[in-house]
């Protein structure tokens, strides 16, 4: 498990009040609550300012107005939802404890890869931060204080969204590595060892299934809102690029700004693909166990493999966005379908 990177993300998330402080002293809880109230007040005021100063009442068609307002409201709902999920201390503790227990069972450590991921994340965060500072300076020169009135909230919350999505990705990537390690263990037990020790692994399968349920419980609603926000934001970006309206600033800086915000949302796409990879890995394990039954002549061993396959089938991972829809590769196609539908409507005006 990438404890070093996860600890960094949890610390950054605690700064934005989007993840719990798992080692916080009792005396600091009141300070955290006050900080949480202040951040909620800032987000509420920022959302109102963002909607008001975008001046959407005069220049845009009704569909464009709805798209812009929904984007800000969904982002606001996401932040309020995440701050509610921060209070799930027991679920967060169970999640981290389960991951540690699975680690002990499977003994799958890859320190080099963990260090590589940690370094890559720091470099990416530094590059995004430098570009953001430069773009804020440029657009402040172009628009003046109006730029901060319009986009200061969006910039702050885009970073919090990036950190939160990164935290989800690290947890999902850890689960993916566990299922791969489980597949390797089963290969050794089934194909290289004469004896079957499947009963010892049945508890591990149940523990992994429980961990996936906890992930759905903690992140399900926020994932639904994140995907909705990414869809609406991409609609606005494409409309911005395809429209013939005149905007301040040169083409290079406008394009760089759009690329920056798209980069901040790329982790959402990675999260969707990682969820799908975990489900695919579990299907590979199930198919391997079913196929291996024919290699044993002993009826007792076949029966034991069949029982394990049934148990694994009942505990297969499935990721949902608060049970509204399953998170898989087809989700990306649904996002693109929604974007194209909106764009067909928007380009007519």
Q: What angle do CA 325, 327, 328 make, to 5 degrees?
A: 125
Is residue 66 over pLDDT 90?
Answer: no
Q: Of 58-67, 89-98, 111-120, which has the strongest mean pLDDT?
A: 89-98
pLDDT in tens, 143-192: 777 777 777 777 777 788 888 998 999 999 999 999 998 888 888 777 66
Is residue 104 over pLDDT 70?
Answer: yes
Q: Which neighbouring-strand residues pair with 320?
A: 326
Task: Supply the pLDDT for residue 327.
Answer: 92
pLDDT in tens, 194-222: 455 667 788 889 999 999 999 999 999 99
Task: Supply the pLDDT for residue 112.
Answer: 45
pLDDT in tens, 232-242: 888 877 776 66
Tokens encoding 49: 């300012």
What span, in angstroms and rounded, lies between the C-alpha atoms of 39 and 32? 10
What span, in angstroms and rounded, lies between the C-alpha atoms of 320 and 279? 12
* Averaged pLDDT for residues 267-285: 92
What span, in angstroms and rounded, lies between the C-alpha atoms of 98 and 322? 21
Distances from the Cα of 45 to the Cα of 34, 40, 52, 143, angstroms: 17, 9, 11, 21
What span, in angstroms and rounded, lies between the C-alpha atoms of 242 and 193? 61
What span, in angstroms and rounded, lies between the C-alpha atoms of 317 and 326? 11
Task: Supply the pLDDT for residue 111.
Answer: 47
Task: Supply the pLDDT for residue 22.
Answer: 63
Q: What is the DSSP letter of 321?
A: S
| CA gyration radius, the chain | 23
Band the pLDDT of 283: cuts 50, 70, 90.
very high
Task: Supply the pLDDT for residue 138.
Answer: 79
More confident residue, 132 or 73: 73
- CB pairs under 8 A, 24+ apart, for 196-201? 196/301, 196/304, 196/305, 198/304, 198/305, 198/307, 198/308, 201/308
Contact 237, 258 (CB under 8 A): yes
What span, in angstroms and rounded, lies between the C-alpha atoms of 18 and 85? 8
In this prediction, what percent of the chain has a pLDDT beyond 70? 80
Is residue 282 over pLDDT 50?
Answer: yes
Band the pLDDT of 108: cuts 50, 70, 90.
low
Of 1-5, 248-252, 314-318, which range is least confident? 248-252
pLDDT in tens, 240-268: 666 655 455 566 666 776 676 667 667 88
Of 38-42, 169-173, 251-255, 288-292, which range is least confident? 251-255
Q: Of 53-67, 74-88, 112-126, 196-210, which has the strongest mean pLDDT?
A: 74-88
What span, in angstroms and rounded, lies between the C-alpha atoms of 148 and 53? 10
What span, in angstroms and rounded, lies between the C-alpha atoms of 170 and 214? 15
What span, in angstroms and rounded, lies between the C-alpha atoms of 161 and 66? 22
Q: In terms of C-beta density within 10 A (0-12 exposed, 13-18 middle, 19 or more buried), how is residue 82 classed?
A: buried
Distances from the Cα of 240 to the Cα of 58, 65, 150, 251, 342, angstroms: 17, 13, 16, 12, 13
Tokens encoding 76: 């606001």
Q: Which neighbouring-strand residues pair with 280?
A: none
Is residue 289 over pLDDT 80?
Answer: yes
Q: In terms of C-beta density within 10 A (0-12 exposed, 13-18 middle, 19 or more buried), how is residue 215 classed?
A: buried
pLDDT in tens, 9-33: 888 888 778 888 766 555 566 777 7
The SS3 of residue 326 is: strand
- Average pLDDT score, the chain: 80
Distances from the Cα of 44 to the Cα of 33, 37, 81, angstroms: 17, 11, 13
């Amino acid at each position: 498990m990438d404890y070093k990177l996860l600890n960094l993300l949890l610390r950054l998330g605690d700064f934005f009040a989007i993840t719990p402080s798992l080692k916080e002293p009792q005396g600091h809880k009141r300070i955290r609550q006050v900080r949480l109230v202040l951040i909620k007040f800032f987000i509420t005021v920022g959302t109102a300012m963002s909607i008001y100063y975008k001046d959407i009442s005069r220049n845009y068609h009704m569909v464009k107005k709805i798209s812009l307002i929904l984007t800000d409201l969904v982002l606001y709902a996401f932040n309020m939802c995440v701050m509610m999920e921060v209070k799930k201390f027991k679920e967060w503790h169970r999640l981290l404890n389960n991951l540690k227990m699975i680690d002990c069972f499977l003994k799958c450590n890859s320190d080099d890869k963990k260090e590589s991921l940690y370094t890559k994340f720091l470099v990416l965060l530094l590059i995004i931060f430098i570009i953001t500072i430069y773009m804020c300076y440029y657009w402040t020169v172009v628009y003046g204080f109006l730029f901060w009135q319009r986009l200061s909230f969006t910039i702050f919350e885009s970073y919090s969204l990036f950190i939160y999505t990164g935290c989800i990705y690290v947890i999902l990537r850890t689960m993916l590595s566990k299922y791969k390690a489980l597949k390797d263990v089963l290969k050794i037990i089934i194909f290289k060892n004469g004896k079957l020790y499947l009963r010892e692994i049945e508890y591990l399968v149940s523990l992994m299934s429980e961990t996936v349920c906890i992930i759905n419980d903690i992140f399900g609603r926020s994932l639904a809102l994140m995907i909705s926000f990414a869809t609406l934001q991409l609609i606005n970006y494409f409309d911005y690029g395809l429209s013939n309206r005149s905007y301040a600033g040169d083409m290079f800086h406008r394009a760089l700004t759009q690329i920056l915000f798209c980069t901040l949302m790329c982790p959402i796409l990675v999260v969707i693909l990682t969820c799908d990879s975990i489900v695919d890995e579990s299907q590979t394990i199930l198919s391997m166990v079913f196929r291996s039954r024919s290699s044993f002549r002993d009826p007792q061993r076949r029966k034991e493999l069949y029982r394990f396959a049934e148990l694994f089938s009942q505990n297969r991972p499935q990721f949902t966005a608060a049970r509204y829809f399953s998170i898989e590769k087809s989700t990306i196609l649904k996002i693109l379908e929604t974007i194209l539908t909106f764009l067909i409507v928007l380009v007519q005006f």
